[in-house]
Amino acid sequence: MFFSRDQVIRVNAETEDQLQLLQALEAREEWEVDFWLDPVSTDLPIDIRVPYDSQTAVMEYLNANSIRYSVLISDLQELLDEEKVEMQKNQMKERMTKSFNFGAYHRLETIYSWMDTLVAQYPNLISKQEIGKSYENRPMYVLKFSTGGNKRPAIWIDTGIHSREWVSQATGVWTANKIATDYGTDSSLTSLLNNMDIYMLLLANPDGYAFTHTNDRMWRKTRSMNPGYSCRGVDPNRNWDAGFGGPGASRYPCSDSYHGPSAHSEIEVKNVVNLIKSHGNFKSFISVHAYSQLLMYPYGYSCRNVPHQPELDAVGTAAVQKLTSLYGTRYKVGSICNIIYQASGGSIDWSYNLGIKYSFAFELRDTGRYGFVLPANQIIPTASETWLALKHIMEYVADHPY
Amino acid sequence: MIMFIIAAVVMFSGVTGSLNVTESLEADTADMLAHPNSVPEFTEEETEILGQILDVEAEGDVMATGELNPNHYQAQRAAKVVQHYLNTRNGSPFRLFRLSRVHSGNLEDLVDSGRKYQLEITVKESISNTTEKLSASVLFPREERQGSAQVQASCDELLKVNITAQEEAFYQQYKNSQNLVSAQYLPDSHGRIDDDMRPFWHLSIVASSFVMLKESNENTLYNMAQVANVTQLATENDQLKFDGHILLHDMVSQEIIHWKLQFTWSPPEGVKVLQMEQLPHCHHCEKPQNSN
């Protein structure tokens, strides 16, 4: 059947007579009216679908008998068409979240639309916030996992700040989904989210990520222009205000560890700084990189121990034990400066100095066999084992408020 | 404390002969406090005294010499060089060594020759997935003109894994081939490699190891990131011959360095590198890779 321009009207019969007149209306077969709510009583509404061709006649009938009505639906077909589109969209979204391949590397646009489906599926847990734009004007989105409250103590996780480290972004995507699906079923995660919020920035360097798909798989930095040089980009993990410009970063724009003209010169970094500072209640800051299989704490800019070194080392060691328990993957634990290299201007040094005690950096799989081009079939194993370490850190943070 | 350091530094200024004594040495000391990597330009005694001062001044700093923390970067970087060395000696399309663990490390500063690392490590053969524990030493020469790192190590157990049949079959398959093999981007962006391309990937890693061994020092940590291109040339002197364009990754500087190599291989001769040339990285001419 086709319902173009059919109307659905609501009638309220005020008297018994009117009720009978409406019942008689049904008998007028030539008008083909269709009662959605039958005329049973003067207390209840009466809904009638009136085909387009009968509208003039039916309205005259009602008007002649002083029966009042209002139009509920002015064009039924239009509404049906809208509903169909909506249903198709929802079906696609469901298919997307059910069939999204976490074991593959995806382009930026795909990840962004997947994020929307995730939020749509878990609207009471997850919201998407734009924290600013990238240099090339791409939106930067955080997913906020929250069960309520107002600026609850929060945990920050960013992935993909170095764009070529693809397993980092992929792990972020899997982890966001894991948190969404496990809330309500995993008791410690549920308890954590009932008291704390989790913020995830899945693509911390969207311009760089896009560039690794279109031009250079090995691109690391942002894509900002460096005046006077044909080389673009700043190392976003040398650009933070922590020992900025010190050893372990380059002042040469063509270098892959170029620190940039000044601390927080990169908009991608500034957006995060602004969020963290204005929120003011982050208790943990975790940055995810690849590769080398390391779990590190501050400092990078100096090899001297931070005051909380013993505690951070203990937490890291315990977290790594959990990680290893899954597939036997070995990680090393230590400060950035001691474990890999001195590096100034790093994000977790900044967050630690801001007072966010539980600041950690992961370097995920592997140790160099595949390096940045880690086979996609290792994404889920990597994310799964990393989750155990992440969970341990988050649970520890939740259990040790400060 | 600072006064004591300056005093100690001033005391040695005559021996090192540097001008503008207090300023430059003070700066050096400050650099050393910030730069555990840097090799101090002092005699052994000076180094020891300064090392002690630095120890008192900065807790948690790694000692310049002596027993090393096997998980820290000093021992790890030296151990990686052993991996490169072993691959140059015994790597093949069917045999690849990877550093698995560092158990212990010790560093000696030898006045005339350089800095010598003594290591206990576990090495894994990637294809058979077997491991062997071994002792190795790595000497980084004090001056560049003295050449690249000198390594002493051997992994006899891992060499016992029999790959003769595979090597021979592979060699015969490509030795007299009319169609010379050519491949781009091994692995591809998603980490994929066709099974029949794997031996070429391995060969390229072995050839790269010659470069990585030559280029390694205490401030580098190399892995081969990707083969941009490997092309078989006509067999010469019974050696399979290849042109390769490979991307090395140095973890410390985070740079991707491009090298062109010409190398050969045969079962009896192993891999030999005929030519190697570093390419400048053209920053505005990045070409798209095979995507998705």
Complex ipTM value: 0.79
A-B contacts at Cβ under 8 angstroms = 124
Are A39 and A65 spatial neighbours (Cβ–Cβ below 8 Å)?
A: no
Residue B291 has pLDDT above 70, yes or no: no
Determine the Cα–Cα distance for residues A48 and A57; give it in Å rounded to an integer. Answer: 14
Q: Which amino acid is at A312?
A: L
In this structure, is residue B255 part of a structural domain? yes
**Both tokens of residue A37?**
């709510």
Residue B59 has pLDDT above 70, yes or no: no
In this structure, is residue B102 part of a structural domain? yes
> A257: which chain B residues are within 8 Å (Cβ-Cβ)?
253-255
Other CB atoms within 10 A of residue B162 CB: 10
Over residues A391-398, the mean pLDDT reads 98
Q: Using CB atoms, which residue from B69, B73, B223 is nearest to A341?
A: B73
In this structure, is residue B2 part of a structural domain? no
Other CB atoms within 10 A of residue A179 CB: 26
Are B108 and B118 spatial neighbours (Cβ–Cβ below 8 Å)?
A: yes
Q: Which residue of A has its CA nearest to B100?
A: A367
Q: Which residue has the higher pLDDT, A190 or B45?
A: A190
Over residues B46-50, the mean pLDDT reads 42
Structural domain for B244, as ranges: 7-290
CA B127: distance to chain centroid? 20
Contact check, Cβ <8 Å, A339/B71: yes
CA A350: distance to chain centroid? 24
Over residues B136-158, the mean pLDDT reads 91
The H-assigned helical ranges of A152-308 are 166-182, 187-193, 206-214, 267-279
In this structure, is residue B210 part of a structural domain? yes
Residue B35 has pLDDT above 50, yes or no: no
Other CB atoms within 10 A of residue A162 CB: 28
> A302: which chain B residues are within 8 Å (Cβ-Cβ)?
34
What pLDDT, in 10s, does the model give residues A4-35?
899 999 998 899 999 998 888 888 888 999 99
Residue A378 has pLDDT above 60, yes or no: yes
Residue A75 burial by Cβ neighbours in a 10 Å radius (0-12, 13-18, 19+): middle
Contact check, Cβ <8 Å, A338/B35: no
Q: What is the CATH number of the domain that holds B154?
A: 3.10.450.10
Contact check, Cβ <8 Å, B36/A232: no
DSSP A306: P
> A300: which chain B residues are within 8 Å (Cβ-Cβ)?
none
Domain count, chain B: 1
Q: Say what percent of chain B tops pLDDT 70.
A: 75
Contact check, Cβ <8 Å, B226/A218: yes
pLDDT of residue B44: 41
**If you search the block for the tokens 């001056």, which residue do you land on?**
B143
Angle at A384 between CA A206 and CA A115, to 5 degrees: 35
Tell me which of B59, B126, B186, B190 to substitute to probe the interface with A (most A C-beta atoms closer than 10 Å).
B190
pLDDT of residue A246: 97
Contact check, Cβ <8 Å, B62/A342: no
Q: Which residue of A has its CA nearest to B252?
A: A341
| Shortest Cα–Cα distance, A321 to chain B (Å) | 16
Cα distance between the two ends of chain A = 66
Over residues A273-285, the mean pLDDT reads 98
pLDDT of residue A97: 62
Q: Using CB atoms, which residue from A216, A220, A342 is nearest to B35?
A: A342
Q: Which residue has the higher pLDDT, B154 or B81?
A: B81
What pLDDT, in 10s, does the model give residues A35-94?
999 988 888 889 999 999 999 999 999 999 999 999 989 899 888 888 888 877 767 766
Q: In which element (H, E) is residue B131 found? A: strand B130-141
Other CB atoms within 10 A of residue A194 CB: 13
Residue B11 has pLDDT above 70, yes or no: no
In this structure, is residue B1 part of a structural domain? no
Residue B14 burial by Cβ neighbours in a 10 Å radius (0-12, 13-18, 19+): exposed
Q: Using CB atoms, which residue from B190, B281, B288 is nearest to A376?
A: B190
Q: What is the average pLDDT value for chain B, to the nearest integer?
A: 82
Tell me which of A370, A374, A378 to substitute to probe the interface with B (most B C-beta atoms closer than 10 Å).
A370
Q: Using CB atoms, which residue from B31, B59, B189 is nearest to A373?
A: B189
Determine the Cα–Cα distance for residues A348 and A359; give it in Å rounded to an integer. Answer: 5
> A232: which chain B residues are within 8 Å (Cβ-Cβ)?
283
Q: Say what percent of chain A tops pLDDT 70.
A: 98
Residue A111 has pLDDT above 70, yes or no: yes
Over residues A342-356, the mean pLDDT reads 98
Residue B30 has pLDDT above 60, yes or no: no
Determine the Cα–Cα distance for residues B136 and B139; give it in Å rounded to an integer. Answer: 10
In this structure, is residue B213 part of a structural domain? yes
Residue B20 has pLDDT above 70, yes or no: no
**Both tokens of residue A26?**
């049904």
Residue A290 has pLDDT above 90, yes or no: yes
Length of chain B: 292
Q: What is the average pLDDT value for chain A, to the nearest integer?
A: 95
What pLDDT, in 10s, does the model give residues A199-216?
999 999 999 999 999 999
Per-residue pLDDT band for B63 (boundaries 50, 70, 90) equals: low
pLDDT of residue B18: 36
Residue B112 burial by Cβ neighbours in a 10 Å radius (0-12, 13-18, 19+): exposed
Per-residue pLDDT band for B284 (boundaries 50, 70, 90) equals: low
Q: In which element (H, E) is residue B89 found? A: helix B73-90
Contact check, Cβ <8 Å, B291/A216: no
> A312: which chain B residues are within 8 Å (Cβ-Cβ)?
none
Residue B23 has pLDDT above 60, yes or no: no
Are B103 and B120 spatial neighbours (Cβ–Cβ below 8 Å)?
A: yes
Helix A166-182 vs helix A108-121: angle between axes, to the nearest 10 degrees?
10
Contact check, Cβ <8 Å, A305/B59: yes
Give CB contacts under 8 A, 24+ apart, made by B201-204: B201/B227, B202/B91, B202/B92, B202/B93, B202/B94, B202/B95, B202/B96, B202/B127, B203/B92, B203/B93, B203/B230, B203/B242, B203/B263, B203/B265, B203/B271, B204/B230, B204/B242, B204/B244, B204/B246
3-state helix, strand, coil in chain B (%, to 5): 35, 35, 30
pLDDT of residue B12: 42
Are A312 and A358 spatial neighbours (Cβ–Cβ below 8 Å)?
A: yes
Over residues A324-334, the mean pLDDT reads 98
Residue B49 has pLDDT above 60, yes or no: no
> B58: which chain A residues are within 8 Å (Cβ-Cβ)?
303-304
What pLDDT, in 10s, does the model give residues B158-215?
999 999 999 999 999 999 978 899 999 999 999 999 999 999 999 999 999 999 999 9
pLDDT of residue B16: 38
Rounded to a whole number, what is the largest CA-CA distance in chain A?
93
Tell me the catalytic residues of A. 363
Q: Using CB atoms, which residue from B34, B221, B254 is nearest to A302?
A: B34
